[in-house]
Structure 1
């Protein structure tokens, strides 16, 4: 038998045929493998240097573990032969084993670290609690505000602003300089709230507050109690800039809610007094405004809220007792929202009456508790609480807005009574604001501004609904009934009086700067409403009278000129407003929505 020729020393891989067939390739001679020789195929080898080698992949974890097992078995075999001389190769093996053992310990440490990290459901590092702007000069250090003026503003906040929003306090005996050093952001927000709309620094301070919000809260996710307290103060007296739908104001309130939850104040045990006040302030502000702005509040009334109210009612700080009526009234408004949302059209008028009667009984009890606080609070606090009470009374009548509840009986006496009550209570709230002392007007919170807007928007909506009901029935005495409703509302005079009172805040501002202020913008729109409202009333009645004429005149005589020259029986309304502003229905609805939707 002939012996095969020696195989080439060049390192080869499988031949092309075996590679395609995925078969084992065993070389037989230099250029022929055993399989190709048996099958009579052409056998072609590619030398490894001619191929493009792929980079060697890192060993998998399984391969590393298998290698460690082999090494450990080798070590165990060596240790079972203690009298055998260790060869140099064995010495190298032990060295490698030592290195692998170190890697194993490192892997074990990594696993322990990962297991420890897995106990925390969050990801990444904790957000910072210190300011990225720490150490930067304040507005006093930069000479924009004198030390004396800063001291005056801090004192004003303590004695004049806190009674209207008793959720953020400044420590007694703390000077403006000490306050600025300890809580610079809260100091900045207190200054922003107290300087007023006409101060030359109003815009600059607002921009600096938003610079803190952007760099610290948004960009770096800083979270601490000072930021929360500062945002509460700034939001409570937010004035600049005025924006449609109030996106910046809504953002600030939602940031308050977010920081509260990030700090764990909603579940953290044993909150200190400042933390309790901050939680209650966030609840009150978010529930008061987010609902008005058409957004969910995010903070609910729960047992912790009741617990903190009870605890704060017995502290040494007298202003803590003023918190209870604000929270009680806002909590009751939450009940009103829940009950009203549960009233379905299928229930009809009877369900509306049952719901309203139940809410009224509850409110009577709430009002008794709330009014007990009047004897223990300053006049400005009592005024703010009375405005909240009147606003609740308005909200009790709002089911008349929902047209689907009255399709079966649109002229129901229940509905007409609710409409008249809405007009009277809205008027009372507006008159209450108009009669406030000047300091209370200047220091009015954003929540009170929202209540004013609701009253300004509810009256004309209720008046036009009542006129529609009256004229649809077409009974005798329609003109007298319409005149009685219009006179009862006295809307243009009422709104102009309110605008004149509120504009005391802007005596030294230009028209442009006034419109950049939230309350100033509302005053401009109130004046526009006062001019548009008489036109809406006249237009509404003209349409009704034209309809009556068309019904009374035979079809052959209903000519446009005849209708136009027909004398109007209904007496003119508001003749003193000779410069009334004519607008179409869509423009009217748009202006009115600025108030009903704040």
Structure 2
């Protein structure tokens, strides 16, 4: 310990401090102030030279003019891996997230007697033989027993049971609570990351039924977790060859994070990449499971649908230039026909959800014809109103786009109605979301078409509508056949909600869709009557 050269008083005054005697300086003696010297720890300099056994000093060679600018690392070991500071490095500090469950060893719903072993085996068997065809991204080994699944991937077991169990089963709420306990305890609180959790989250997302929430908040959260975990595990950028299960999980995550959010007008959680393309081609050549051959058609079709929003968004203010719209839609339809030709063999045997995805794509291509309200608002508040939009709004070409929307939306709903009742529980939530979107697109398209017919250029607008204009309007209403479609679809969806109380229907995805249809049906007839002036 050494004393400071200047006392506290002189230091604070920023004056020269000259010692007069021990613990007293000349300035403090002259001014009669208290003089205090602080003790400071002595700093020892480290020598950079080491002595050898003979006592000779060996100095480190100096290499360049930058010597001395680099701070000493002491005992810090710097790895030689050049990828550590690469663009793909995580850059995280701390311990690795756990890969094992904090709930390991706790009794599950079978151990506690809520579900018998025979019932569990039956549900898992149904998933292996029937459900995998509509979502072939999570496949269970035929040789894997229920006991192995419960022990090795407990959350996946619960997800499989939740997907296959009847809506009116008494343990449905208990099952949902147990699943959320796994998600919150393992994924959120413990930050556990492993492939089994990704597979379980994919199954939970694909057959999400309960509880239904406005905006599908919980479903969107599960999708986000799934995409986040794939990134944390590095499946999207691993240079090493992925296992088949890893490739299915990566492709399944891409599908769920890019299909449902787009339908719900949410941001996509995962973009297409070279790794996606590579895994997609590997699945096309896979012979491990028969369902693998449907993975590439699902991914390629969904990826193509995603490009529509991107291309339309790139048009910007020119989105309603009829010439550009014609070019864009024509190019997309030609690309689609080329895509269909490459997938023709697979499409001939494809499951119903993929066929409905194709109808959804065709309707999506013409969807910009419905941009009326938003474009009208922008046009009213623009400094210079767009003449291109005003021309497009009443053009014959827009009428043809709306006609296509009516037909393809109707075709998608009819495709679902024609599915056998026994196969309805296997339909994923993504298909139900597409149906919900079509139920909105169809009556809106009819409404816009009727407005165009009754305000046709060169004709005198009369109300109520009469003559040839009324005949043309009735042809649109008859072609849509919306109310009849709603009745038939409602009867079909009732298969999924048999035995549910009115309160339970409000918590079921299919039940809320039925309520949604009732609202649309009650709105449709008065809307048509208001436009035409006749029943």
TM-score (norm 1): 0.75
Structure 1 residue 168, shift from structure 2 partner: 0.5
CA contact (8 A) 1:15 1:43 kept: no
Q: Partner residue of 1:44?
A: 32
Give the match's secondary structure for 2:141.
coil
1:395 aligns with 2:364: yes
After superposition, the C-alpha distances for 1:66-114 in whole angstroms (9 at most, x for unaligned) are: 3x569x99x99xx89xxxxxxxxxxxxxxxxxxxxxxxxxx99963257
1:307 aligns with 2:268: no
Q: Partner residue of 1:578?
A: none
Call closer, same or farther: CA 1:42–1:488 in 2, change over 3 Å.
same
Q: Partner residue of 1:250?
A: 220
Q: Partner residue of 1:385?
A: 354
Q: Partner residue of 1:504?
A: 495
Task: Supply the distance in 1 between the matched residues of 2:114 and 2:80 (Cα, whole angstroms).
Answer: 51
1:356 aligns with 2:329: yes
1:292 aligns with 2:280: no
Structure 1 residue 344, shift from structure 2 partner: 4.0
Task: Supply the distance in 2 between the matched residues of 1:270 and 1:307 (Cα, whole angstroms).
Answer: 10
Structure 1 residue 304, shift from structure 2 partner: 2.1
Q: Partner residue of 1:26?
A: 19
Q: How many residues align?
A: 484
1:189-588 matched pairs, under 5 angstroms: 189-268=159-238, 269-316=240-287, 317-346=289-318, 348-375=321-348, 377=349, 381-403=350-372, 404=375, 406-473=389-456, 474-475=459-460, 477-542=468-533, 570=534, 572=535
Unpaired runs of at least 5, structure 1: 1-11, 81-106, 543-569, 573-598
Task: Supply the distance in 2 between the matched residues of 1:299 and 1:31 (Cα, whole angstroms).
Answer: 72
Structure 1 residue 534, shift from structure 2 partner: 0.8
CA contact (8 A) 2:453 2:472 kept: yes
Task: Supply the distance in 1 between the matched residues of 2:9 and 2:469 (Cα, whole angstroms).
Answer: 105
CA contact (8 A) 1:470 1:478 kept: yes
Structure 1 residue 528, shift from structure 2 partner: 2.2
Task: Supply the distance in 1 between the matched residues of 2:204 and 2:341 (Cα, whole angstroms).
Answer: 32
1:65 aligns with 2:44: yes
CA contact (8 A) 2:6 2:17 kept: no
Q: CA RMSD in A?
A: 3.0
Structure 1 residue 305, shift from structure 2 partner: 2.0
- Aligned pair partner of 2:93 in 123, 137, 146: 123
Give the match's secondary structure for 1:124.
coil
CA contact (8 A) 1:328 1:370 kept: no
CA contact (8 A) 1:391 1:451 kept: yes
Which one has a larger percent helix, Structure 1 or Structure 2? Answer: 1
Task: Supply the distance in 1 between the matched residues of 2:415 and 2:448 (Cα, whole angstroms).
Answer: 25
TM-score (norm 2): 0.83
Call closer, same or farther: CA 1:15–1:429 in 2, change over 3 Å.
closer
1:167-206 matched pairs, under 5 angstroms: 167-206=137-176
Task: Supply the distance in 2 between the matched residues of 1:26 and 1:220 (Cα, whole angstroms).
Answer: 63
Task: Supply the distance in 1 between the matched residues of 2:8 and 2:248 (Cα, whole angstroms).
Answer: 82
Task: Supply the distance in 1 between the matched residues of 2:250 and 2:10 (Cα, whole angstroms).
Answer: 78
Larger radius of gyration: 1
Task: Supply the distance in 2 between the matched residues of 1:173 and 1:349 (Cα, whole angstroms).
Answer: 58
Give the match's secondary structure for 1:499.
helix
Call closer, same or farther: CA 1:274–1:115 in 2, change over 3 Å.
closer
Structure 1 residue 300, shift from structure 2 partner: 2.0
Q: Partner residue of 1:556?
A: none
After superposition, the C-alpha distances for 1:388-416 in whole angstroms (9 at most, x for unaligned) are: 11111111111212234642242211110
Task: Supply the distance in 1 between the matched residues of 2:18 and 2:231 (Cα, whole angstroms).
Answer: 68
After superposition, the C-alpha distances for 1:281-326 in whole angstroms (9 at most, x for unaligned) are: 0111111111112222232222222222222222232111111111
Call closer, same or farther: CA 1:408–1:125 in 2, change over 3 Å.
same
After superposition, the C-alpha distances for 1:121-155 in whole angstroms (9 at most, x for unaligned) are: 21111111111111111111111111100100111
Task: Supply the distance in 2 between the matched residues of 1:429 and 1:295 (Cα, whole angstroms).
Answer: 22
Give the match's secondary structure for 1:27.
strand
Call closer, same or farther: CA 1:15–1:498 in 2, change over 3 Å.
closer
